[in-house]
Copies of this chain bind each other. A is one copy, B any other.
Amino acid sequence: MRVAGLISGTSVDGIDVAVVDIAEDIQVVATATVPYAPQVRAAILAVSDAATDTSRIARLNFLLGELFAEALQKAGVPLDTIELIGSHGQTIFHEGEPVEFLGRKIASTLQIGEAAVIAERTGIDTIADFRPSDMAAGGKGAPLVPFLDYRLFRHPDRARIALNIGGIANITVIPANASPEDVIAFDTGPGNMVMDAVAPPFDRDGERARAGKVNAALLDKLLGDPYYRREPPKSSGREQYGAEFVRGTGIEIATAAELTARTIALAIERYPDTREVIVSGGGAHNIYLMERLAAIIHARVTTTAEFEIGVDAKEAILFALLAHQTHQGRVGNLPSATGARKPVILGKISRGTRPPTEA
């Protein structure tokens, strides 16, 4: 079955598209990232963290539906070969832990990018809203990516770790011959966030970090944070490693890169059987960081590219896979990763009606 996956991430730089053929294995047919116009990006960021008008959210939801449909059309795969779409949409609010609200404990999440619009424009059945189903079953609605990691990287004899280096770094631990309930996933600490904050716009290849000098005293102090030795499951907030962290510590680029590599290594050391660490996310482009990881981690370090999965395409592929699961009536969350009481069928199905083929 040929399935498209669509997502716009927290960086809000554009819509990631992956078209994959799903059978026993997953073959990537095409991937693309379609950037947002600056005014659309600004509008998304505005509703994501401040008082807004309900009208703005409603309109943005329909507008993003149009843009997601157009992004898929730009991926260069004929629409009439695609059988199903999984669209994550754009998260504008996420609160995985329940809070007191009008007298109840409520956890909630809100993704926009109207699936009815995607289904109508493409004519293809579209599944969206994956996170609420996991949260309704008591989960935190995240992370969902370990489900894909398990499917892609599970090996009969080799323990593997999938490492995603986004703003925050997180790992999916997949023991040899693992069952779904054996999978562990958690945040290791900073990903690109600290490096990005000290070397704006960013030190993509890591050349500035390579040229700098590590402040060993500061590094030791920062590594003393008990978070890094705490038992999983655990998650890092974006607020933990932002501008205030940089100001408060006076950290600069070489130390930031070393802190990132060392905290990732600390997490991976918990699993001494690990044979391979498979990296994805923007951090996989950072040549210096990848060298440092290879030097200090006991396992072989590689990237998802070795498995023909672009390091930036993993999440869009995930939502193609989750849509396929739902279409087949199969569950899509890993309770060991999200904390849900049970595995559930994720998402909501909008029916697309292909235009009748004219004779």
Contact = CB atoms under 8 A, between A and B. Distances in A.
Given A40-B102, A54-B49, A54-B92, A116 B63 contact: no
A133 B120 contact: yes
Contact of A136 (B92, B117, B135): B117
The main secondary structure of chain A at its interface with chain B is mixed
Contacts of A107: 62
Contact of A110 (B40, B57, B137): B57
A108 interface: yes
A93 B54 contact: yes
Contacts of A65: 136
Each complex incorporates copies of this chain amounting to 2
A331 to B, nearest CB: 9
B58 A95 contact: yes
A43 to B, nearest CB: 6
A137 B108 contact: no
A39 B103 contact: yes
B133 A93 contact: no
A106 interface: yes
Contacts of A53: 50-52
B135 A62 contact: yes
A135 B43 CA distance: 22
Interface string A49-93: 111111101111111011000000000000000000000000011
A224 to B, nearest CB: 34
B345 A353 contact: yes
Given A55-B95, A58-B95, A119-B133, 14 more contacts: A37-B102, A51-B51, A52-B54, A55-B108, A57-B57, A59-B108, A62-B132, A63-B102, A115-B348, A120-B344, A121-B136, A129-B350, A133-B351, A329-B351
Interface of A: 37, 39-40, 43, 47-55, 57-63, 65-66, 92-93, 95, 99, 101-104, 106-110, 114-117, 119-121, 128-129, 132-133, 135-137, 326, 329, 344-345, 347-351, 353
